[in-house]
Amino acid sequence: MLTHLIIRNFAIIDELEIAFSEGFTVVTGQTGAGKSILVNALNLVLGGRASMDVIRSQAPEAVVEAIFEPEGHHGWAKINAWLEERGIELGDGQLIVRRIVARSGRNKVFINGSAVRVSTLRELTRGMVDISGQHEHYSLMDASRHVLILDGFAGLEERRERVSEAVDRLRALTREVEALQRGERERLTQIDFLRFQLDEIDSAELDPDEEEALQTEMQRLRHAEQLREVAQGARHRLYEGELAVVDVVSGICHDLDRVASMDPRLGTVQESLESARIQLEDVAVELRSYAQEVDDDPRRLMQVETRLEKIERLKRKHGVDVAAILKRADEMRSELERLERTEERIDEALVQMQALQKVVLAQARTLSERRKEAARRLTQLVESELAVLGMKGCRFEVIIEHGEQDGQVVTDTALAGLGALGPYGIDQVEFAIAPNRGEEPKPMARIASGGELSRIMLAIKSGLLMTDTVATYVFDEIDTGIGGSVAEVVGRKIKEVSRNRQVICITHLPQIASFGHWHMVVEKCHHVDRTVSSIRQLSDNERVGEVARMLGGVTITQKTLDHAEEMIVAAASFGGEVLEGSSASPSTS
């Protein structure tokens, strides 16, 4: 509930701090004293529109701050989860909202000290306070919330959540199918391209060790004649020519062999040299074999060069070496397999989507039928409550439609198709009223006056007390167009509602004011060069005087005071409950 409202430099308010309690708080005051300024300020901290016109003259900015204490562990846990998800500091049993409207245009919004956008503030506070009057921040004027109000009345929240979850699954599946089908042409093109690339790589029959061997062979083929000439010349000098190296070494070995018996050391040298001679002969044989094998075959050279060019082309496309090309080929095979499976996934997803469509439509149609039954009950309840509240000729209607088909609005649940599916099912729910007999009901947001809206909301809230999650109701001038006994009935009804909800009511009628648990008065004071509005809670005797003023106007007699006190005492006895510290049971002194 709302516990404090702090206002600075707002309209004709310098600085004001108001503490609110549970139960029924009445706000009264002379016409023009600034009662509706409170509602305007509260509307601002609930995410309403900001205008520099609200800034007090000569002040740089206007500040409005509200403190809420969510009721119940579940409500507070839900708010904390919402705050934590958005990185906003958690409160310690309180929710503090501050709104700054500056002449510079640099307006600011804070939740528990964290700067946020107005849209974030509006999202958080939606459903915390219902304001009815000449303002925009209340659920009855938001047609998108009417379905939630109806479901709350009928206890259909769990069924609605199941439908919402099924709709979310269906939408996700539909998006997947559409994405897969939308990319079908691209997928087929990619499949063809991958197959072409893989065929090119596979047909090359690459071997990671092949390139180096081909490079060596190419060099040998390109320089075959030179290699052969060098090999033959080397063999000639080693083995065949005059003064051949082998012959020279053989002669030296012979000379050393003759004298080896004279010195054993020379025998060792002779043995080493003999081994070298044998190796030289082997080298000569190898050179002869090499010279015979070296081939300058142009056809083979062309084959090798062509093969190496092919490998180079593949390297430029797919990798720095053959190993990288083969790795890329494996990746392309995996991608090709995935793309080829996509067609199977499309068929599979289409079957799943069609089956889920039937399930969702069946669930949504069942939910719709339950809503229509609840709408009939809610209509009867609201109209009976409105009759009590002085709107006997007012017709209330819950319009349930399912979109359009062939240019016609669909109202038959059985004819509602997939196109009607939304986050809450197939229903578009809107409350409508016809304030006067003979008129057709029209959407509430376009036809109801502020006073009518207040009484309509009071009638609806009376029937929703057990299911409505809104903690605070604000009625701004609910007494418009009523008086006498009807006003007393309205006061009684508000007090009934206040047993379960916090209610703040701005009124001009003493019949309503007398039912409050708490009574605040707004006063306007004139100083030398400025006017200031203030608000204060009345004592028991002050309250009698204020109700007497509302009854008698300028001249207040003892009879008027006695009448006022009698009204307050009678109102306090209604319902039998008196809140601790309230002025609902005034002094009779």
Q: Angle at which helices 157-182 and 322-388 pack, to 10 degrees?
A: 150
Q: Which residues of the chain have pLDDT under 70?
A: 71-75, 133-140, 445, 447-454, 463-468, 480-481, 528, 575-589
* DSSP alpha helix (H) spans, 499-557: 510-513, 540-552
Selection from 348, 534, 473, 27 nearest residue 356 by Cα:
348
Q: Give the residues across from 519 on adjacent strands.
A: 26
On whether the CB atoms of residues 535 and 43 are closer than 8 A, the answer is: no
Distance of alpha carbon 510 from its chain centroid, rounded? Answer: 48
On whether the CB atoms of residues 429 and 400 are closer than 8 A, the answer is: yes
* DSSP alpha helix (H) spans, 392-523: 444-447, 450-464, 484-498, 510-513
Q: Count CA atoms within 13 Å of residue 540 on its CB side.
A: 13
Q: Give the residues across from 108 on adjacent strands.
A: 100
On whether the CB atoms of residues 192 and 184 are closer than 8 A, the answer is: no
- Tell me the one-letter amino acid at 388: V
C-alpha to C-alpha distances, 39 to 33, 273, 307, nearest whole angstrom: 13, 119, 87
On whether the CB atoms of residues 356 and 166 are closer than 8 A, the answer is: yes
In angstroms, the CA 212 to CA 301 distance is 15
Output the six-digit token pair for 154.
Answer: 């009928």
Output the six-digit token pair for 139.
Answer: 């659920």
Q: Where are the beta strands (DSSP E) in 315-378?
A: none
Residues 6+ apart with CB under 8 A from 446: none
User: Scanning the structure block, which residue is given the tokens 């003259």?
Assistant: 57
In angstroms, the CA 390 to CA 217 distance is 109
Selection from 417, 416, 382, 420 nearest residue 398 by Cα:
382
In angstroms, the CA 187 to CA 182 distance is 9
Q: Angle at which helices 484-498 and 322-388 pack, to 10 degrees?
A: 140
Output the six-digit token pair for 586.
Answer: 């005034």
Output the six-digit token pair for 159.
Answer: 């069924």
C-alpha to C-alpha distances, 470 to 111, 252, 352, 379, nearest whole angstrom: 19, 120, 40, 21
Pairing mode of beta strands 502-506, 24-29 = parallel
Laid out side by side, the sheet with 442-443 consists of: 395-401, 428-434, 442-443
Q: Give the residues across from 506 on adjacent strands.
A: 27, 476
Distance of alpha carbon 228 from its chain centroid, rounded? Answer: 80
On whether the CB atoms of residues 502 and 190 are closer than 8 A, the answer is: no
Output the six-digit token pair for 520.
Answer: 């605040």
In angstroms, the CA 472 to CA 502 distance is 5
Q: What is the structure's pLDDT at 389?
A: 80
Selection from 170, 159, 560 nearest residue 359 by Cα:
170
What do you get for the CA distance between the two ends of the chain, in Å?
Answer: 34
Q: What is the structure's pLDDT at 305?
A: 86
User: Scanning the structure block, which residue is given the tokens 């701090």?
Assistant: 17
Selection from 508, 522, 504 nearest residue 13 by Cα:
522
In angstroms, the CA 540 to CA 589 distance is 10
On whether the CB atoms of residues 424 and 371 are closer than 8 A, the answer is: no
- Tell me the one-letter amino acid at 135: H
Backbone angles phi and psi of 380, in degrees to 5: -60, -45
In angstroms, the CA 561 to CA 297 distance is 131
Laid out side by side, the sheet with 502-506 consists of: 129-132, 472-476, 502-506, 24-29, 518-526, 531-537
On whether the CB atoms of residues 552 and 541 are closer than 8 A, the answer is: no
Selection from 483, 489, 463, 480 nearest residue 387 by Cα:
489
In angstroms, the CA 512 to CA 491 distance is 4
Output the six-digit token pair for 362.
Answer: 């069946």
Domain extents for the chain? Answer: 209-320
Q: What is the structure's pLDDT at 534?
A: 86
Q: Angle at which helices 264-293 and 224-235 pack, to 10 degrees?
A: 150
DSSP 3-state assignment of 448? coil
Selection from 519, 524, 493, 488 nearest residue 506 by Cα:
519
